[in-house]
Amino acid sequence: MSRNRIASLWIIVAALNLMVQSGYAQETVNMIFTSDAHFGITRPKFRGDSNVMSYRVNDAMIRQMNTLPEMTLPADGGVGANRKAGAIDYLIEGGDIANRMEPPVQSAAASWTQFEQEYMHRIDLKGHDGRPTKLLIVPGNHDISNAIGYARVMKPATDPSSMVGIYNLMLKPSKTLTSGDYDYHKDKINYSRNIKGVHFMFITLWADSAERIWMEKDMGTVSSKTPVIIVTHDQPECESKHFTNPLPPYNMTLENHFENLTEEHYKEGAVASKDDGATAIEQRGFVKFLKAHPNIKAYFHGNSNWNQFYVYHGPDNDVNLNTFRVDSPMKGKYSAKDETQLSFQLISLDAKTQNLTVRECLWNTNPSDPNQKIVFGKSSTIALRVN
């Protein structure tokens, strides 16, 4: 075979590969999911140093995120398996950008400034459209507590800076909110995005009875055949202390443990409990909503942080919701003590098949190596298509 013919064949093969890769790119959406950045506190140990400030840990994680496009995805049978990860279209932050301002923790304003510096200026990623990766944020319980106050002393007593920052970025109001005019009870951070045929709902903290009013209206904007994914801060069970004190005058106290973060009042006693089943009544309202909307196919959350792919069954074991819990760079249940377990998640959506794969991205498995690569851990693929 002549050299010219061989060269022509190589050109054809390269062109076919490019066509395949282009088709794959058009059908795929990649998202990074992380949560609980907790600017304002320190990690006891990180990469050979002690008492490491959160902005340094988050910066190290972001540097690893920036290497993800060149990583080859594992042969796990999931979306994009054995291919380079490629473009990252969205980065989702699951809340607790600021830490609660209990002395000596810095103010929410200082934490929001650090978050902006890291997540808006150091992310060097682009989507499939060639534009910078889009940031999607929900607030966490610490962000809300800073805005509305807390039973223990905070300094300052309130500072809604991170809530205001998230609200303005995500909702883009015609009149930009300021800390002086922010009202948590009316300025909820609820919004949705239609991404490649899947409807993503981003809601404030948890799907309580008040949130479900907004969610019901939002669900009416899409077909019952459209897959829906909920992204929020709290796990599906929620925490009893996050509800509002049921007893007048509804104050937060050290004795009742309530934080008054939801509009819904707690129904199971006058003191928040950590016992299993402590939110069963509240969960049943959420489960009823899920049953009314079987096209809700997945749930992503932070708050209690480690990498976990599981199915939420509800307090009565009568529902099945694919749920994804993500780690924290600062307060992971396991990674806080073992930094080699630090992780975030890569979410890959195939728009054609409507399959979704979530992969654990371990980003600090070799703390002594500044040039270490991400190691892929567990993965889970689910079908979103509504029958």
Written in H, E and C, the secondary structure of the chain is CCHHHHHHHHHHHHHHHHHHHHHHHHHEEEEEEECCCCECCEEEEECCEEEEEHHHHHHHHHHHHCCHHHCECCCCCCCCCCCECCCCCEEEECCCCECCCCCCCCCHHHHHHHHHHHHHHCCCCECCCCCECEEEECCCHHHHHHHHCCCCCCCCCCCCHHHHHHHHHHHCCCCCCCCCCCCCCCCCCCEEEEECCEEEEECCCCCCHHHHHHHHHHHCCCCCCCCEEEECCCCCCCCHHHCECCCCCCCCCCCCCCCCCCCCECCCCCCCCCCCCCCHHHHHHHHHHHHHCCCEEEEEECCCCCCEEEEECCCCCCCCEEEEECCCCCCCCCCCCCHHHCEEEEEEEECCCCEEEEEEEECCCCCCCCCCCCEEEEEEEEECCCC
Produce one character per residue of 268-298: b if its CB has 16 or more CB atoms within 10 Å, e if not: beeebeeeeebbeebbeebbebbeeeebbbb
Query: Could you give the CA distance from residue 145 to residue 260 in angstroms, rounded to a whole number?
Result: 8
Q: What is the pTM of this model?
A: 0.93
Q: Report the alpha-carbon distance of residue 59 to residue 117 in Å, rounded.
A: 9
Alpha-carbon torsion 262, 267, 269, 270, what sign? positive
Q: Which residues, including other chains, have CB under 8 Å from residue 326's CB and lie 6 or more apart?
A: 33, 34, 35, 94, 300, 301, 302, 305, 307, 343, 344, 345
> Contact 222/200 with Cβ under 8 angstroms?
no
28-383: CATH number: 3.60.21.10
Say how far apart CA 136 and CA 94 lie, in whole Å: 9
Q: How far apart are CA 167 and CA 208, in angstroms?
A: 19
How confident is the model at residue 277, as a pLDDT? 79
Per-residue pLDDT, 274: 80
Domain coordinates of the chain in residue numbers?
A: 28-383
Q: How many CB atoms lie within 10 A of CB 258?
A: 25
Among 287, 314, 325, 309, which residue's Cα sits nearest to residue 382? 309
- Give me the pLDDT at residue 19, please: 39
Question: Given this model, what pLDDT does residue 25 score?
Answer: 53
Give the list of residues 6+ apart from residue 215 with CB closer than 8 angstroms, or none: 190, 201, 203, 207, 289
pLDDT at 21: 46
The answer to whether 203 and 218 are in contact (CB under 8 A) is: no
Q: How many CB atoms lie within 10 A of CB 365?
A: 16
pLDDT at 362 (0 to 100):
98
Tokens of 157: 């007593």
Per-residue pLDDT at 1: 55
Predicted pLDDT of residue 275? 80
| pLDDT < 50 positions in the chain | 6-7, 9, 11-24
- Buried b / exposed e over 180-199, threshold 16 CB at 10 Å, is eebebeebbbbbbeebebbb
Q: In degrees rounded to 5, what are phi and psi of residue 309?
A: -110, 115
CB 196 within 8 A of CB 25: no
Distance (Å, whole) CA 93 – CA 325: 12
